[in-house]
Amino acid sequence: MKRGNFASPETATLVIGIGNDFRKDDAAGLIAAKRLRAVAGKNVAIQEQSGEATALMEAWQGRAKVILIDAAKCTGAPGTLHRFDAVKRPLPGGLLRYSSHQLSVVDAIELARALNRLPGELIVYGIEGKHFDAGKGLSAEVERSIPELVERVRREISGD
C-alpha cells in the first residue's frame, strides 16, 4: 500500500504515515498523515504506507528530509508521543514492532544506515498504542493525542 501525493524530492519534505487500518491503534500513523494533508502546506509530500522496509527505503531515496509517523509500543502510557532523530542514533529496538512484515520500521532504518541510504534528515514520531488486535478504531487515549502529534509534525515541517 502506498497512497499520497508525490511532490518533488528537491522541494518537499516527505512525511510517511505508517500503519494498518485494520489493527486498531496501528492505524495512528495513517490517520495522522491524512489529517496533516489539510495543514501541511505545498512543499510537503505525504504518503501512507504499511511499513514494508524496501518500500520505505525507496520512498525516501534522494530526499533531504523525511518524517515517519508510526504506532509504538514501549513503556509509556497509551497516547504518549516520542520523537527520535534516526540519523543521529539508532532507534530503540522494540519501539516500532507492530509490523506484519518480516522487517520492522526500525529494521528498515538500520538496513538503510548500513547501506548508506538514509536521507539527510530522518525524524521518527512514535505514538504509544494500546490495542493492536484486529479491528478498526483507535483507543480513546491515542485518538486524543492525534491532534498534538499532527501539530508537532506541522511545526517540524514549517520550522516553527
Distance CA 87, CA 137 (A): 32
- Residues 114-130 have pLDDT tens digits of 999 999 999 999 999 99
The cell numbers describing 1, all together, are 500500500
**Which domains does the chain possess?**
2-158 (3.40.50.1450)
In the chain, % of residues over pLDDT 70: 87
- Residues 40-86 have pLDDT tens digits of 888 899 999 998 888 999 999 999 999 999 998 877 899 999 999 99
Distance CA 129, CA 123 (A): 19
3-state secondary structure 25-47: HHHHHHHHHHHHCCCCCCCEEEE
DSSP state, residue 88: T
Please tell me the pTM assigned to this model. Answer: 0.89
Distance CA 145, CA 32 (A): 10
Q: Are 5 and 41 in contact (CB under 8 A)?
A: no
Structure confidence at residue 94 as a pLDDT band (50, 70, 90)? low
Q: Calculate the CA 71 to chain-centre distance.
A: 8
- Position of cell 523525511? 66
The pLDDT of residue 11: 52
